[in-house]
Amino acid sequence: MEPVLKVENLTKVYQRGTPGKGGTAVNAVRGLSFALMPGECLGIIGESGSGKSTVAKMITRLTDVTEGTILLDGEDITRRRGSRMRDVYQKLQMVFQMPVESFDPRQTLGSGIGESLRNRGMGRKAAGEEVKKLLLMCGLTEEFAGKYPHEVSGGQCQRAAIARAIAVRPKVLICDEATSALDVTVQKEIIQLLNDLRRKQGDGLSILFISHDIALVQQFCDRVLVMYHGEVVEQGNPDEVIAHPQDPYTKRLIESIL
Which residues would be at the binding site for ligand ATP (CB under 6 A)? 14, 16, 26, 28, 46, 48-54, 212
Q: Which of residues 119-138 bind another protein (CB under 8 A)?
A: 119-120
85 binds another protein (CB under 8 A): yes
Shortest Å, Cβ 13 to ligand ATP: 9
Shortest Å, Cβ 212 to ligand ATP: 5
**Contact partner, 28, from Mg ion, ligand ATP, another protein, none, Cβ < 5-8 Å per class:** ligand ATP
Strand pairing report for 223-228 and 92-95: unpaired
108 binds Mg ion (CB under 5 A): no
Spatial CA neighbour of 139 closest among 189, 72, 213: 189
179 binds Mg ion (CB under 5 A): no
Of the residues 12, 50, 53, 205, which one makes contact with Mg ion according to CB under 5 A:
53
Q: Which stretch binds another protein (CB under 8 A): 21-29, 94-102, 188-196, 205-213?
A: 94-102
Strands (E), 98-243: 172-176, 206-211, 223-228, 231-236
CA–CA separation, 229 and 32 (whole Å):
11
Spatial CA neighbour of 225 closest among 247, 198, 204: 247
Spatial CA neighbour of 191 closest among 43, 50, 5, 37: 43
The residue (of 45 and 190) whose beta carbon lies closer to ligand ATP is: 45
Q: Which of residues 155-184 bind another protein (CB under 8 A)?
A: 161, 164-165, 168
Of the residues 79, 86, 133, 169, which one makes contact with another protein according to CB under 8 A:
86
The residue (of 44 and 94) whose beta carbon lies closer to another protein is: 94
DSSP string across 62-122: SS--SEEEEEETTEE-TT--GGGHHHHHHHEEEE-S-TGGGS-TTS-HHHHHHHHHHHTT-
Looking at residue 23, the DSSP 8-state letter turns out to be B
Shortest Å, Cβ 75 to ligand ATP: 25
**Contact partner, 41, from another protein, ligand ATP, Mg ion, none, Cβ < 5-8 Å per class:** none
**Contact partner, 98, from another protein, ligand ATP, Mg ion, none, Cβ < 5-8 Å per class:** another protein
Spatial CA neighbour of 37 closest among 231, 223, 250, 226: 223
The residue (of 107 and 141) whose beta carbon lies closer to another protein is: 107
CA–CA separation, 95 and 84 (whole Å):
21
CA–CA separation, 258 and 255 (whole Å):
5
CA–CA separation, 133 and 126 (whole Å):
11
Residues 6 or more apart in contact with residue 191 via CB below 8 angstroms: 179, 216, 219, 220
Residue ranges binding Mg ion (CB under 5 A): 53
Residue ranges binding another protein (CB under 8 A): 60, 62, 83, 85-86, 89-90, 93-94, 96-98, 101-107, 112, 115-116, 119-120, 150, 161, 164-165, 168
